C-alpha cells in the first residue's frame, strides 16, 4: 500500500478537528488513494455530486447524509454543485407522483446537502451552467454523474476520475483527490477503436452509437478506468447536442472519456469495433414503440437551450397535452431542463412556446430519476438512450422506446399513430413496490470458469483498504467476470441482480462474498450498496479485480471487508457457489477456495 504524507490541515481533518464529515471524507479519500497506489493527494478545483433523488439514492443516501450533516464542520472545502433531483417540487402535483413521502424525502435530501455547503443547482449538466467549468479549469476536479464525467473529460478541458457520488462527496469535503487514473495523461489514452461507417446527424443517432459501444463490453477487456473509445468516421465538427447525446449514452456502461477523431491505426487497442448502417437500423428497429405510448419524455440529460429551441420549433402551430391520455388519444409530453436553461428560455420566449403548445416544462429533475405513477404510465417514448437505459431498469421497470426527436413530437401531437400491439421492451423485473409489476426473479446456473485449472488448490493474494484491519470471513461466492451495474439492475430489497443480458442475472448478492471486476453504470452505485447493507441483503465481503470507485466507498465507510488487485484472475479461478475464505493479515489479503461448488 502507498504511504501518503499528510499536511497539517489533513492531519487535523483526520483527527476530527474539522468535524465528522471531513474526517469521514478524508478516511475515504485515503482508502481510494491506497487502493490506486497513489502517493499524494492533490487539491481539486471543484466537485459535482450525484445521488439526489429518493428513487436512486434511496434509504442509504438519506441515512448517510443525515450522519454527515449532524457534524458538518465547515462543510465542503471546494466549490461543489448538485445533480438533478427526483422532482420539480414547484410542479409536484403536475408530475402526479404517488410514491409515499417522496416530496418530504426530496426536501430532506436537498436540505442535508445545503447544510454541507453544496450549491444545490439540481442539474445533471453542470457543464452548461455559466461559470462552473471556467472556475474549475486548471486543477483536477471530482465529478460524479456519469454523463457529466464523460462530457467534462472529453470536451471541457477538465480532468476527473469516474467518481461515485460518495467519493466525489469525500473529495468535496476535504478539498483533495488522490492523484491517479484519469488525472494522469498516460491513463487517458484510448483503449478501444470504433469505426463508424454510416452517416449520423440527429442527436439520437449519436445516442444510439454511444450506448451500442458500451453494450459491446467483453469479459476479456482489461480497462481499469473504463472503456475509452477513439471513434472514427464522424463529422469533423459535432454540435453541442450531438456531443452531449454521444457522451451521455456511452457513460451508461462506464465510458469516462471518448475521442471523436480518427483512431490511429497503430494504437494499443484491446478491441476494434465497426458501427455501420446495419447496426444503426437494427437498433432503431429494436427500440421503436410496438404499440400505444403512455408518456413522451425529452431532456435526458436535461435539455440545453439548443434542444429547447428544437422542441419549440417542432411544436409551432401544434398542440400536445401534459396530462394522462384517454385510450386512443396522443400521449402527454414532458420536457426536462435545468433551472439555468429554463431561466433563459423564459426570457427569450422558448419556455412560453413549449408551454403554450400544452407540454409540461420541468426543471431541477431528469426523466431517469422520477418515480412514475404506473397506474397510467405503462410505456415511455424518448429520444435518449440514457433515459431508456434507466427507465426500463428496476428503478421503474417501464417499457421504454426510442425515436428521433421529430418522431417523438409527432407521436405526442397525434400525427404519428402507432399500432395497437403492446410495447415490446427489455424490462427488468423488480420487487421494488412498483404498482402492477411482477417480482419475478429468473434462476441462473452458476458461472463456469473459462480457465482449466486445479481448482481445489486455488489461492490468490491481493490488497485491502488502508482503513480496514485484519479479518477472516468465509462464505459462498458469487463470481462473474462481467462488471455489475448497481443502480437499477440490483434489486434494493432482495440483492438480486436483474439485468437480462448479464451472466449473473437472477443471482443474489445477499450474504455472499461477491467477486467481480468492478461496478459500472451510474455513479450512485455506492448508495445502492449502502442500502443493501442497511437492509441486510448485501454481500458480506467484496472482491474486485480492478480499481473501482463505485464499490470502495460503501465498504470503506461501513467496514464491509474488501480486497482488490490479486496476483491471479479471481473471476476465472473461482465459480459461483464455491465456498471461499477471505483473510487479511497486515497488508496482504488472501482469497482461497474452501469447497468446490456442487456443479464443479
Output the DSSP codes for 492-509. TTT-BB--TTSTTTT-B-
Which residues partner with 402 through β-bridges? 382
Looking at residue 395, its pLDDT comes to 84
Looking at residue 317, its pLDDT comes to 97
Q: Name the region of 320 (left: φ>0; alpha: ψ -120 to 50; beta: rest).
A: beta
| pLDDT above 70 for 185 | yes
Cα–Cα distances in angstroms (integers) from residue 212 to residues 17, 193, 208, in the given order = 49, 13, 6
Nearest CA to 47 out of 144, 156, 159, 157 is that of 144
Distance CA 572, CA 325 (A): 51
The whole-angstrom distance between residue 387's C-alpha and the CA centroid of its chain comes to 12
> Using one digit for the tens of pLDDT, what is the confidence trace for 412-448?
999 998 864 444 333 333 333 333 333 333 333 333 3
**More confident site: 267 or 562:** 562
Looking at residue 598, its pLDDT comes to 62
Q: Would you call the peptide bond into 301 cis, given omega within 30 degrees of 0 as the criterion?
A: yes
Active site residue 522: yes
Q: pLDDT band at 207, cuts 50/70/90?
A: very high
Nearest CA to 292 out of 400, 379, 396 is that of 379
Work out the average pLDDT over 10-22. Answer: 95
Write down the residue that cell numbers 455530486 correspond to: 49
Q: What is the pTM (predicted TM-score) of this model? A: 0.85
Work out the average pLDDT over 289-306. Answer: 96
**More confident site: 47 or 455:** 47
Q: pLDDT band at 221, cuts 50/70/90?
A: confident
Nearest CA to 163 out of 548, 531, 565 is that of 548
Nearest CA to 301 out of 152, 142, 487, 167 is that of 152
Work out the average pLDDT over 303-330. Answer: 97
Name the least confident of 131-145, 288-302, 447-461, 463-477: 447-461
Q: pLDDT band at 60, cuts 50/70/90?
A: confident
Under DSSP, is residue 297 helix (H, G, I), strand (E, B) or coil? strand
Q: What is the DSSP letter of 253?
A: G
Interhelix angle 405-413/305-315, nearest 10 degrees: 40
Sign of the Cα pseudo-torsion (525, 528, 530, 536, in order): negative
Q: Considering 77, 522, 556, 576, which one is annotated as catalytic?
A: 522
Residues 6+ apart with CB under 8 A from 89: 103, 106, 107, 364
Name the least confident of 150-164, 235-249, 307-321, 408-422: 408-422
Distance CA 120, CA 113 (A): 7
Question: Mean pLDDT score of the chain, rounded to an integer?
Answer: 90
Work out the average pLDDT over 110-123. Answer: 97
- Residue environment code for 419-454, b if the CB has 16+ CB neighbours within 10 A, otherwise e: eeeebebebbbbbbebeebebebeeeebbebeeeee
Distance CA 388, CA 428 (A): 12
| pLDDT above 70 for 501 | yes
| pLDDT above 70 for 171 | yes
Question: Would you list the DSSP string of 456-492?
Answer: GG-EEEEE--TT---EEEEEEEEE-SS-EE-TTTB-T
Mark out the alpha helices in 254-384 (DSSP H runs): 277-287, 305-315, 339-348, 350-356
| pLDDT above 90 for 547 | no
The residue count of the chain comes to 600
Under DSSP, is residue 531 helix (H, G, I), strand (E, B) or coil? helix
Looking at residue 454, its pLDDT comes to 58
> Using one digit for the tens of pLDDT, what is the confidence trace for 243-279?
999 999 999 988 999 999 888 888 889 999 999 999 9
Q: pLDDT band at 143, cuts 50/70/90?
A: very high
| All cell numbers assigned to 307 | 434542444
| All cell numbers assigned to 220 | 476479456
Distance CA 572, CA 550 (A): 22
Work out the average pLDDT over 28-39. Answer: 91
Looking at residue 419, its pLDDT comes to 65
Nearest CA to 201 out of 265, 261, 248, 246 is that of 246
Helix then strand count (H, E) for the chain reads 19, 22
> Using one digit for the tens of pLDDT, what is the confidence trace for 460-488?
999 999 889 999 999 999 999 998 988 88
The whole-angstrom distance between residue 359's C-alpha and the CA centroid of its chain comes to 28
Sheet holding 192-196, edge to edge: 229-232, 192-196, 272-275
Looking at residue 2, its pLDDT comes to 56
Run of H or E residues at 592: strand 588-595
Please report, rounded to a whole number, the percentage of residues in the chain having pLDDT higher than 90. 75
**More confident site: 452 or 376:** 376
Q: What is the DSSP letter of 85?
A: B
Residues 6+ apart with CB under 8 A from 427: 392, 397, 398, 399
| All cell numbers assigned to 411 | 407521436
Work out the average pLDDT over 341-366. Answer: 98
**More confident site: 547 or 356:** 356
Do 316 and 138 touch, CB atoms closer than 8 A? no
Name the least confident of 218-222, 410-414, 536-540: 218-222
| pLDDT above 70 for 305 | yes
Amino acid at each position: 500500500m502507498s504511504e501518503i504524507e499528510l499536511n497539517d490541515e489533513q492531519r487535523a481533518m483526520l483527527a476530527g478537528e474539522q468535524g465528522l464529515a471531513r474526517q469521514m471524507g478524508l478516511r475515504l479519500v485515503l482508502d481510494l488513494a491506497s487502493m490506486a497506489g497513489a502517493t499524494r493527494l492533490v487539491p481539486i478545483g471543484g466537485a459535482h455530486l450525484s445521488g439526489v433523488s429518493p428513487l436512486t439514492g434511496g434509504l442509504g443516501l438519506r441515512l448517510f447524509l443525515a450522519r454527515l450533516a449532524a457534524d458538518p464542520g465547515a462543510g465542503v472545502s471546494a466549490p461543489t454543485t448538485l445533480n438533478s433531483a427526483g422532482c420539480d417540487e414547484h410542479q409536484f402535483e403536475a408530475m402526479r407522483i404517488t410514491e409515499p413521502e417522496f416530496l418530504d424525502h426530496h426536501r430532506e435530501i436537498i436540505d442535508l446537502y445545503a447544510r454541507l455547503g453544496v450549491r444545490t443547482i439540481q442539474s445533471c449538466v453542470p457543464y452548461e451552467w455559466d461559470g462552473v467549468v471556467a472556475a474549475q479549469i486548471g486543477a483536477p476536479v471530482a465529478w460524479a454523474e456519469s454523463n457529466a464525467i464523460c462530457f467534462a473529460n472529453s470536451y471541457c478541458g477538465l480532468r476527473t476520475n469516474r467518481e461515485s457520488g460518495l467519493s466525489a462527496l469525500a473529495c468535496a469535503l476535504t478539498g483533495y483527490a488522490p492523484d491517479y487514473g484519469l488525472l494522469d495523461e498516460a491513463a487517458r489514452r484510448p483503449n478501444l477503436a470504433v469505426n463508424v461507417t454510416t452517416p449520423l446527424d440527429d442527436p439520437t443517432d449519436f445516442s444510439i452509437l454511444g450506448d451500442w459501444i458500451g453494450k459491446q463490453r467483453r469479459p476479456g477487456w482489461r480497462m481499469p478506468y473504463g472503456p475509452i473509445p477513439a471513434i472514427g468516421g464522424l463529422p469533423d465538427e459535432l454540435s453541442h447536442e450531438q456531443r452531449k447525446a454521444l457522451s451521455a449514452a456511452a457513460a451508461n456502461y462506464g465510458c469516462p472519456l471518448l475521442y471523436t477523431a480518427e483512431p490511429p491505426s497503430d494504437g494499443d487497442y484491446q478491441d476494434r469495433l465497426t458501427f455501420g448502417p446495419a447496426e444503426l437500423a437494427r437498433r432503431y428497429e429494436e427500440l421503436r414503440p410496438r404499440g400505444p405510448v403512455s408518456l413522451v419524455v425529452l431532456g435526458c440529460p436535461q435539455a440545453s437551450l439548443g434542444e429547447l429551441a428544437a422542441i419549440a420549433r417542432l411544436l409551432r402551430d401544434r398542440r400536445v397535452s401534459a396530462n394522462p391520455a384517454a385510450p386512443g388519444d396522443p400521449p402527454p409530453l414532458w420536457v426536462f431542463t435545468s433551472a439555468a436553461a429554463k431561466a433563459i428560455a423564459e426570457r427569450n420566449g422558448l419556455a412560453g412556446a413549449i408551454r403554450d403548445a400544452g407540454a409540461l416544462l420541468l426543471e431541477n429533475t431528469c426523466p431517469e430519476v422520477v418515480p412514475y405513477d404506473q397506474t397510467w404510465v405503462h410505456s415511455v417514448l424518448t429520444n435518449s438512450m440514457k433515459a431508456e437505459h434507466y427507465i426500463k431498469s428496476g428503478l421503474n421497470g417501464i417499457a421504454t422506446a426510442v425515436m428521433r426527436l421529430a418522431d417523438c413530437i409527432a407521436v405526442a401531437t397525434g400525427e404519428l399513430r402507432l399500432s395497437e400491439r403492446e410495447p415490446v421492451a427489455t424490462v427488468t423485473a423488480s420487487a421494488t413496490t412498483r404498482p402492477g409489476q411482477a417480482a419475478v426473479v429468473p434462476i441462473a446456473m452458476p458461472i463456469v470458469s473459462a480457465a482449466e485449472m486445479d481448482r481445489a488448490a486455488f489461492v490468490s493474494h491481493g490488497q485491502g483498504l488502508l482503513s480496514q484491519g485484519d479479518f477472516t470471513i468465509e462464505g459462498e461466492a458469487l463470481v462473474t467476470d462481467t462488471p455489475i451495474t448497481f443502480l437499477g439492475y440490483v434489486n434494493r430489497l432482495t440483492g438480486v441482480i436483474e439485468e437480462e443480458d448479464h451472466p449473473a442475472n437472477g443471482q443474489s448478492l445477499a450474504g455472499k462474498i461477491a467477486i467481480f471486476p468492478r461496478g459500472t453504470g451510474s455513479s450512485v452505485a455506492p448508495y445502492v450498496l449502502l442500502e443493501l447493507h442497511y437492509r441486510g441483503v448485501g454481500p458480506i465481503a467484496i472482491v474486485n479485480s480492478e480499481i473501482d470507485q463505485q464499490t470502495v466507498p460503501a465498504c470503506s465507510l461501513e467496514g464491509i471487508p474488501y480486497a482488490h488487485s490479486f496476483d491471479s484472475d479471481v473471476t476465472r479461478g473461482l465459480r459461483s457457489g464455491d465456498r471461499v475464505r477471505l483473510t487479511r493479515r497486515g497488508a496482504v489479503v488472501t482469497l482461497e477456495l474452501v469447497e468446490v461448488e456442487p456443479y464443479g
